[in-house]
Amino acid sequence: MNNINTKLYENIEIGDNYPTSVMGVINLSPESFYKNSVFESFHQVKNIALEMISMGAGFLDIGARSTAPGAPNITVDEELKRLLPILEELFKILPDGNVISIDTQYMKIAEQAYYLSQINNKKIIINDVSCLKTDPKMRDFIIDNDLPIILMASKEKPGDLLTMDQIISEFEFTIESLKENGHDEKKIILDPGIGHWVPQKTYQYDLAIIDELDKLRRLEKPILVAISRKSFIGNLLDIPDPKDRLNGTLAATSIAIYNGAHIVRTHDVNKKLMETIKISKKIRSVNKK
């Protein structure tokens, strides 16, 4: 199997030949399942953003709408109201070597974020947990502006695919659609959608996805895993509160990296995580490509 390496922007490269990338999570949605990741003021966001960057995060994932199962829905206008003022200020302090990931399913949000990034000469990537299904306009916007995109495995609703075979099949369809319409496939990142997104997706499916992550590499796209403090860890360890799931997160993260993940999306950008990532990547590099 070929090495997986890609260049999202000049000097922004990810893949097998590079250190595992870290994406720090900054939530602007009070509905989010992990309350310690929620920030309301720019002062708070600035402090955590700079701390994450100093610890090694190359990406910051900013979301103003909770995608946790059962979270109340909000309007696109409310999402914009929460996101844009913070994003505008964040771009002003963001180092040139970092990328903002915009966690949204809606073209209107992506469009406004892209506009702000352009006038501030900053880099963004769109993180769509619906795999471009929620808003039909999102796909064309991504193509027209040749933007990097994170596709999370989804068919009819976010995270509804249960097995790796289903995930690969749906990704193949979406990737081909983007390619046929002129999008640079080197700017596609794949997220298998770990988490209890739909009722039928029990924690055993998450374990199988992590175990079979290496299969996803056949699509020759960088792989992102969003494991941090999720419910399967709570189920396995009988830990209902996400704030107590760090140890389980680190264990699952190490397995995911060993099985081929290139980007770790996490609430915790700290010394423990960075050491876990470094050791896991080094062990993988001994006999795997």
Contact 260, 220 (CB under 8 A): no
- Taking 70 as the threshold, does the pLDDT of residue 35 lie above it? no
Kindly report, residue by residue over 189-234, the tens digit of the pLDDT: 999 999 999 999 999 999 999 999 999 999 999 999 999 999 999 9
The amino acid occupying position 45 is: V
For the chain, the straight-line distance linking the first and the last C-alpha, in angstroms and rounded, comes to: 8
Coil, strand or helix at 63: strand
- Ranking 38-42, 85-89, 279-283 by mean pLDDT, the lowest is 38-42
User: Can you count the helices (H) and strands (E) in the chain?
Assistant: 10, 10
Q: What per-residue confidence (pLDDT) applies to 287?
A: 72
Contact 62, 101 (CB under 8 A): yes
Q: What per-residue confidence (pLDDT) applies to 68?
A: 76
As a whole number of angstroms, the distance between CA 233 and CA 247 comes to 9
Going by DSSP bridges, is the β-strand pair 149-152/123-128 parallel, antiparallel, or unpaired? Answer: parallel
DSSP class of residue 198 equals S
- Taking 60 as the threshold, does the pLDDT of residue 7 lie above it? yes
Neighbouring C-alpha atoms within 13 Å toward the C-beta of 18? 17
Domain positions in the chain are 5-284
Q: What is the pTM of this model?
A: 0.95
Q: What per-residue confidence (pLDDT) applies to 37?
A: 72
Q: Computed over its alpha carbons, how large is the radius of gyration of the chain?
A: 17
Q: What per-residue confidence (pLDDT) applies to 72?
A: 83
CATH (residue range 5-284): 3.20.20.20
